[in-house]
Amino acid sequence: MIKLAVVTGMILLVGLMTGCGVEQGDTKAGEKGQVEAVSSDKTEAITPHKGVNQEPVPLVVERVGEKEVNVEMTAQITDIEIAENHFYKAWTFNGQAPGPVVIVKEGDLINFTLKNTDPSIPHSMDFHAVHTAPSKNFADIMPDEQGTFRYTASKPGVFMYHCGTKPVLSHIANGMHGTIIVKPENGYPNDGGIDREFVILQNEWYKYNDLEDFASGEPSHVAFSTKSLDDNGRNTNGDTFTLKKEPLIANVGDRIRMYVNNVGPNEMSSFHVVGTIFDDVYIDGNPFNHMQGLQTVLLPASGGAIVEFTVKEAGDYPIVTHQFNHAEKGAVAILRVDGPDDK
Ligand SMILES: [Cu+2]
């Protein structure tokens, strides 16, 4: 059975690389809410993904010791609305793209289990937050199997995670990316003064499952999403509209911290919040990398940061990448600040 899965996976991988397949994966909602093909000039979804739209599975993070945590994630195929009425049959972690944010503490031993419920191809997990041999601990998990890996999160920060299965670009660009935050053992310098925290992720979308377009094309959409830092917050997908229609909310006088991460796969982000200055910035989220008074933070593909600032007047503050070709393609969110202006 395992051998069969391996062989099937390899055949399908070859298929992916050569662009074979029979189903459209880049779709729009029809009049009756059904999903139908948009056009015929885009690379097609692979056959085994036809009709597959798996319900999101919750992330599992369970602390089992003072310095040990179990993390369980699921590789799955789930439709993501990347622009209004424009659905993408994404390859995902836990049915979200980007995937849910994982939070651990500096020094934690992570017992990481990946369940692969994709019916057809292998997936894997590459955490940027650890030192380990990729060939050993970022190994492929075959369809309908699971594997457990162990490594220590020895550096604090805001790190990208992504699927590392070949072709890596296809797995990331199809949606298998996200953020792991490793909280510093002794916290951040301003922990006591923060009123609100948000996660903001940037990612790109391209023609559906088209490795050539991933490699040589321009993104069709550039998206922002927010992720919950606890069990009660919002988890939005990387899309062009949700954080405009339903802004992030704060009050006048709030000291705000944003954990930001550009999960790419290809483009840089010039992260900027219109109408404010980042008082304190920690590049890649490491307290050692402290900078002050920045207007824009450059995030390379995979790069992260923590930005902190105070909102002094009521109103709407656009969150953008200052590469405005990408803002035009969707990468704008709104921070709505309520309350009197006199604080
Ligand atoms: Cu994958």
Q: What is the pLDDT of residues 223-242, one digit of tens each?
A: 999 999 998 899 999 999 99
The whole-number pLDDT of residue 297 equals 98
C-alpha gyration radius of the chain:
20
Query: Same structural domain for residues 19 and 112?
Result: yes
Q: Compute the distance from residue 76 Cα to the ligand 1 centre, in Å.
A: 9
Query: Are 231 and 159 in a shared domain?
Result: no
Residues 164, 50 share a domain: yes
The whole-angstrom separation of Cα 294 and Cα 281 is: 7
- For residues 135 and 238, state if they share a domain: no
Distance 123 CA to ligand 1 centre (A): 4
| End-to-end CA, the chain | 66
- CA–centroid distance, 94 to ligand 1, in Å, is 12
Shortest CA distance to 305 belongs to which of 266, 341, 270, 254? 270
> Domain ends where: 135, 150, 183?
183
Last residue of a domain, one of 161, 183, 205: 183
- Check if the beta carbon of residue 336 is closer than 8 Å to that of residue 245: no
Residue 343 included in any domain: no
In terms of domains, do 159 and 291 share one?
no
88 and 119 fall within a common domain: yes
The domain that contains 300 carries what CATH number? 2.60.40.420
Residues of the chain with pLDDT under 70: 1-43, 341-343
Residue type, position 291, single letter? M
Instruction: State the DSSP string of 168-202.
Output: HHHHHHTT-EEEEEEE-TT--TTGGG--EEEEEEE
Angle subtended at Cα 157 by Cα 206 and Cα 146, rounded to the nearest 5 degrees: 65
Question: How far does the centroid of ligand 1 lie from the alpha carbon of residue 193, in Å?
Answer: 39
Count of domains for the chain: 2
Give the domain range for residue 44: 2-183
Omega prior to 247 cis, within 30 of 0: no
State in Å: Cα 287 to ligand 1 middle. Answer: 31
Does 251 lie in the same domain as 134?
no
Please tell me the predicted confidence (pLDDT) of residue 175: 98
H or E stretch covering 46: none
Q: What was the pLDDT predicted at 45?
A: 87
Claim to verify: residue 136 and residue 252 sit in the same structural domain: no
- Residues 186 and 339: their CA atoms lie apart, in Å, by 33
Strands, E assignment, 57-100: 60-65, 68-83, 86-93
Give residue for tokens 């995979």. 302
Cα of 125 from ligand 1 centre, angstroms: 8
pLDDT in tens, 30-48: 444 344 444 445 667 899 9
pLDDT at 27: 52
Which residues face 166 on adjacent strands?
A: none
The last residue of one of the domains, among 158, 183, 208, is 183
